[in-house]
């Protein structure tokens, strides 16, 4: 079975630009969560979506937004990029909104110059 897949794997953007990251969950998983991982730190929660509805949001500015599609795939959008947005963006999926472990993809490495 395919695991969580994310695209693109690497991305370079300029300050002020906008970026869209994509995630396909494990087949059958209905919950998708997004995390930001800065080098040398643990992942930080950004969003959770379940059945196309936002179920949770972390302490990130409104420049960050996401959505989930009917096939349970998801997109993360970041507007007005800052240098500090450079990080590994991880997507994780799970069977349900809670009570099941998260399975992570290999992430999208975003570099903002």
Q: Which residues bind other proteins (CB under 8 A)?
A: 4, 31, 33, 35, 40-45, 48, 50, 55-56, 58, 90, 92, 94, 96-107
CA atoms within 13 A on the CB side of 72: 21
CB of 50 to other proteins, least distance (A): 7
Could you give the CA distance from residue 13 to residue 71 in angstroms, rounded to a whole number?
A: 28
Query: Measured from the CB of residue 2, what is the shortest distance to other proteins in angstroms?
Result: 14
Q: How far is the CB of 61 from other proteins (least distance, A)?
A: 18
Distance CA 112, CA 52 (A): 29
């Amino acid at each position: 079975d395919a695991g969580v897949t994310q695209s693109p794997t690497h991305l370079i953007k300029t300050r002020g630009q906008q970026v869209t990251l994509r995630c396909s969950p494990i087949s059958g998983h209905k919950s998708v969560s997004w995390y930001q991982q800065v080098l040398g730190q643990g992942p930080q929660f950004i969003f959770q979506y379940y059945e196309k509805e936002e179920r949770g949001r972390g302490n990130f500015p409104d420049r960050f937004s996401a959505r989930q599609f009917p096939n349970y795939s998801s997109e993360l959008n970041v507007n007005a990029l800052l240098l500090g947005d450079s990080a590994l963006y991880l997507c994780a999926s799970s069977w349900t909104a809670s009570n099941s472990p998260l399975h992570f993809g290999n992430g999208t490495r975003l570099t903002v110059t």
